Structure 1
Amino acid sequence: MSKIEIKNITFGYDTQGTLLFEQANLNFDTQWKLGLIGRNGRGKTTLLKILQNQLAYSGQIIHQLDFLYFPQPIKNKQQLTYYVLEEISDFEQWEIERELNLLQVDPEILWRDFETLSGGEQTKVLLALLFIDDHHFPLIDEPTNHLDIVGRKQVADYLKKKRQGFIVVSHDRSFVDEVVDHVLSIEKSQLELYQGNFSVYEEQKKIKDEFEFAQNEKLKKEVSRLKRTAAEKAEWSRSKEQDKYGKASEKGSGAIYDTGFIGARAARTMKRAKTIEHRMETQLSEKASLLKDIEYIDPLTINYQPGHHKRLLTVENLTLGYQEQDLFNKISFELNQGQRIALAGQNGSGKSSIIKFLLGHFDGESQGVILRPDKLKISYVRQNYEDNHGTLLAFSEEQGLDHQAFLNNLHKLGMEREVFQNRIEQMSMGQRKKVELAKSLAQPAELYIWDEPLNYLDVFNQEQLEKLILSVKPTMLIVEHDQSFLEKVATQVITLTKNN
């Protein structure tokens, strides 16, 4: 059992102008299964890079185990999977087969070309390789991307049974809940460590936020009361000071007034007013220290423009395939205005292929039909969006977007305004996903087709999307593996079954 100690770490990217970490400190045990969470752009992947000494930082990291990062870089995908893994690390064949069996993967996968594996299969193979090595501390970055519901459950069970600790970054709430025993949250102003899983973190974070809100309201009322009292006493003191000089001028007429008493009392009152002002400044200082780590989640907007079409899609006896091998058994369904249909099924069952066929991009074989109205306005969130590039202004002009609406949604999704100056290809994967999503939200559309919209998005973004969809009720066709999200937003689930 050993410790990893982070001492006074300070780091920021030159292009952003602000620090991601400032004098950050943390101690954790290498036996912990630590979930690393935080909003996109807050520095999760950056922290993993700092641990691997890939970025220059000030401060100190003390550790006995070296770090190993997932997903491992692949040099050549166009070869057998076994040889791909051999280029990454040394291992015995029985070791990798043991881990694959634990992940419920047929070891025969090792003798297939790596590039032919599904995203979920590639994830499992690389995880198997990661955990053969018990001399390094695993840093697992977004393992649930491209995993279907069954695959996520299998990987969660695999990680739960591991005796060694790790750090895992994932935006799948249910997955993190299952596999971690500690949570490290990158807040706006600090690193905050919680003992327990994601549900424990959410509950403790909620209690902390509610306490700070209550303290803030209490201090606001107290400051308001002190302001009134100070103003009243200052006004009384000034009026009495004026009275003193007025009465003193009347002495020449023979009148008797104790101007000294009036002056002393006014002075005492003014002193009390100053004391109140000092108390008020203290209260304001305390108030300023509150709410620093509250996450304000602004509602998103969507340019949904339902037309006169009541039925947007009719799918009849559809199946798709390659080389006379169908991807799924025939399906039929209708999508009417206001409905949100989710396509579910295992990796490789043809969910994304249906979307490609609908958009005219499928290059395989098809049977059955999809009927839709002419000139149907469709907005599409793609699973792969690496071709988005350039400045945000040039991108929005190229896409024909309302630039202000596009930027507003980006900011509401948590993208800092200083990032607006960066080129899209220089952004983090989470930020690039937000660009793709904000593009879709800004496009005028009757039908929204979203292919795995939650990949790389944080839990706050997921909540924003849930609230937006439930409020506006746009017509949607969705492919997504996050079960809790689908349970909230989908009006119907179509499950594809593989044609064996």
Structure 2
Amino acid sequence: MTNISIKNLTFAYPGQAALFDNANFELDTSWRLGLLGRNGRGKTTLFKILQNKLSYTGTLNVSVPLAYFPQPLGDQTKLALYCLQETGNFLEWELNRELKLFKISEDLLWQPFNTLSGGEQTKLMLCALFCQADHFFLLDEPTNHLDLAGRKELVAYLKQKKQGFIITSHDRTFLDQTIDHTLVIERSQVRLENGDLASYEMQKKRRDSHDIQQNEKTRHELKRLKQAALTKENWASQAERQKQNNSHADKGFIGRRAAKVMKRATALKSRAEEQIKQKETQLKNLEVSETLSLNYRPTHKQVLVEAKDFTLAYEKQLFSPLNFEVKAGEIVVLKGNNGSGKSSLFQALLKSSKATVSGELSLNTQNISVVRQNFSTDRGTLKEFAQKRELDYTLLLTLLKKLGFERHTFDVLLENMSLGQQKKVQLAASLATPAELYLWDEPLNYLDTYNQDQLLTLLQETKPALLVIEHDQNFIDQIADTVVKLK
């Protein structure tokens, strides 16, 4: 039974192109629906529209109460239980029930929320959300900050649930294990299909292949029509000159014939213009990814990061002592469960950690470029952002364009961009920064699959000195020279 109906939905942010233009679709709240689309296409915006948080034109009928992740939090210095209780109406025993289903220790509830890792916070917030058993759930990027084990646990947790949901994620494997329908925001339409992500991608590949073939036929036909029209125009012009310059010619006959030929040329031009319109229609949903560049400055230094019997502690030790190096031209992946201390190690490298240090951790260059997990504090225009980071503004815009930014988005304030767009700004800034070493903390979070593939190709071809935290196993397998596991 359909419980959510949208008719003639039209929405655009002020001064920007429409994200939705007379979109129509109906959803069944028993579905496990994957909401897909490139960053900036309007996934989070659609969630806000469903919750009536934005003004739009069209008709929206939602017959069930909705619950949204990530829910806004209050004072995060409070114990996790009390922090979460401010987000919804549930009892402690209900939350403990969900923790048990997710296989999470209740001990986390009795720690300050802001001291938990991003993955631990995500799990607790999801458990608090699902205490609302009579709701339909809107899950916006719940896999971000979850390690591989955490994502498998989330798959198992969701499979136990009878409620339907709409979920966004850029983890292909996770989606294929989780969803049974897809709602895809393409470049010029919203497409609803039965099946998982793999099924949609297979069908889209077929559609794109057909459109490209049709476009090639159209291109050849356009060339033939334009040449024929030009030939006839030239003949008509010559005939007209002959009529003017030859006093003995049958000017009436020549004029009639020239007019007839010119009419044919005009008809050919009209056909060519129609073919151009068809061409634009054929390729309007074709996704194109451009090659990225990296402002990497190779160095004569052999070792850029070195750890010797290194560990950190907050009251208790975070991980067993580590010994590893990051050499020039080497990609090293830090891997470990949520809360194992990966981001804390990055903070120690950048001299911003408050943990107790044991052993040695040395950074042998000052020319570094960082991608952070938390980028919510950035404000203002892209130009101001570039000036603050001392970046080449033109290069920053060029990289953003290659990452899929529409030109009108260049004028949007950072705080008004989607999380995917904000993450692209962080990534583009890192790519544009001249550096001998890159430190990237979960670079794939919020990036769509097209951007992930771009990044993969860039790293494989450039081979920079890179220390990276990432949970996507496919990505790790294809880029890592060395994997350092935190135990």
Same fold per superposition (TM over 0.5)? yes
CA deviation vs aligned residue, 1:265-292 (integer Å, no higher than 9, x gap) = 5454344333322322221221122211
Contact 2:2 2:26 survives alignment (8 Å): no
1:239 to 1:394, Cα distance in 2 relative to 1, 3 A: closer
**Structure 1 segment 34-433 matched on structure 2, within 5 A:** 34-243=33-242, 249-250=247-248, 265-323=257-315, 325-373=316-364, 375-433=365-423
- The 3-state SS of whatever aligns with 1:88 is coil
Number of residue pairs matched by the alignment: 487
- Quote how far apart the aligned CAs of 1:365 are: 1.6
Give me the whole-angstrom Cα distance separating, in 1, the residues matched to 2:382 and 2:91.
Answer: 48
Matched, 1:453 2:452: no
Deviates more, 1:207-216 or 1:156-165: 156-165
Give me the whole-angstrom Cα distance separating, in 1, the residues matched to 2:431 and 2:103.
Answer: 39
Give me the whole-angstrom Cα distance separating, in 2, the residues matched to 1:88 and 1:371.
Answer: 42
- The 3-state SS of whatever aligns with 2:208 is helix
Residue type at the aligned position of 2:10: T
- The 3-state SS of whatever aligns with 1:163 is coil
Residue type at the aligned position of 2:361: I
- The 3-state SS of whatever aligns with 2:86 is helix
Choose which of 455, 459, 466 in structure 1 pairs with 2:456: 466
- Quote how far apart the aligned CAs of 1:245 are: 6.3
Give me the whole-angstrom Cα distance separating, in 2, the residues matched to 1:390 and 1:129.
Answer: 34
Residue type at the aligned position of 1:460: Y
- The 3-state SS of whatever aligns with 2:456 is helix
- CA-based RMSD: 2.1
Matched, 1:10 2:10: yes
- Quote how far apart the aligned CAs of 1:264 are: 5.2
Give me the whole-angstrom Cα distance separating, in 2, the residues matched to 1:134 and 1:25.
Answer: 28
- Quote how far apart the aligned CAs of 1:381 are: 1.2
1:97 to 1:265, Cα distance in 2 relative to 1, 3 A: same
Deviates more, 1:448-457 or 1:423-432: 423-432
CA deviation vs aligned residue, 1:401-447 (integer Å, no higher than 9, x gap) = 12211221122222233232233233332222222222211111111
TM-score for the superposition, normalised by structure 2: 0.94
- The 3-state SS of whatever aligns with 1:129 is helix
Residue type at the aligned position of 1:391: T
What percent identity do the matched residue pairs reach? Answer: 48
Q: Which residue of 2 aligns with 1:254?
A: none
Contact 1:160 1:178 survives alignment (8 Å): no
Residue type at the aligned position of 1:303: N
- Quote how far apart the aligned CAs of 1:494 are: 0.8
Residue type at the aligned position of 2:305: L
Contact 2:142 2:169 survives alignment (8 Å): yes
Give me the whole-angstrom Cα distance separating, in 1, the residues matched to 2:197 and 2:451.
Answer: 16
- Quote how far apart the aligned CAs of 1:393 are: 2.0
Give me the whole-angstrom Cα distance separating, in 1, the residues matched to 2:116 and 2:439.
Answer: 25
- Quote how far apart the aligned CAs of 1:176 are: 1.6
- Quote how far apart the aligned CAs of 1:262 are: 5.4
- The 3-state SS of whatever aligns with 1:448 is strand
- Quote how far apart the aligned CAs of 1:342 are: 0.2
1:241 to 1:493, Cα distance in 2 relative to 1, 3 A: same
Contact 1:2 1:64 survives alignment (8 Å): no
Give me the whole-angstrom Cα distance separating, in 2, the residues matched to 1:233 and 1:203.
Answer: 45
Contact 2:120 2:339 survives alignment (8 Å): no
Give me the whole-angstrom Cα distance separating, in 1, the residues matched to 2:363 and 2:105.
Answer: 41
Give me the whole-angstrom Cα distance separating, in 1, the residues matched to 2:156 and 2:384.
Answer: 45
Contact 2:116 2:339 survives alignment (8 Å): no
- Quote how far apart the aligned CAs of 1:181 are: 1.1
Residue type at the aligned position of 1:485: F
- Quote how far apart the aligned CAs of 1:233 are: 2.5
Contact 2:341 2:486 survives alignment (8 Å): yes
Residue type at the aligned position of 1:367: S
Residue type at the aligned position of 1:37: L
CA deviation vs aligned residue, 1:129-165 (integer Å, no higher than 9, x gap) = 2223232211111111211111111002211332221
CA deviation vs aligned residue, 1:348-393 (integer Å, no higher than 9, x gap) = 11111221222222222222212443x4411111122233233322
Give me the whole-angstrom Cα distance separating, in 2, the residues matched to 1:418 and 1:315.
Answer: 45
Contact 1:8 1:59 survives alignment (8 Å): yes
Matched, 1:441 2:440: no
1:283 to 1:28, Cα distance in 2 relative to 1, 3 A: same
CA deviation vs aligned residue, 1:268-317 (integer Å, no higher than 9, x gap) = 43443333223222212211222112222222221100111122222222
1:314 to 1:113, Cα distance in 2 relative to 1, 3 A: closer
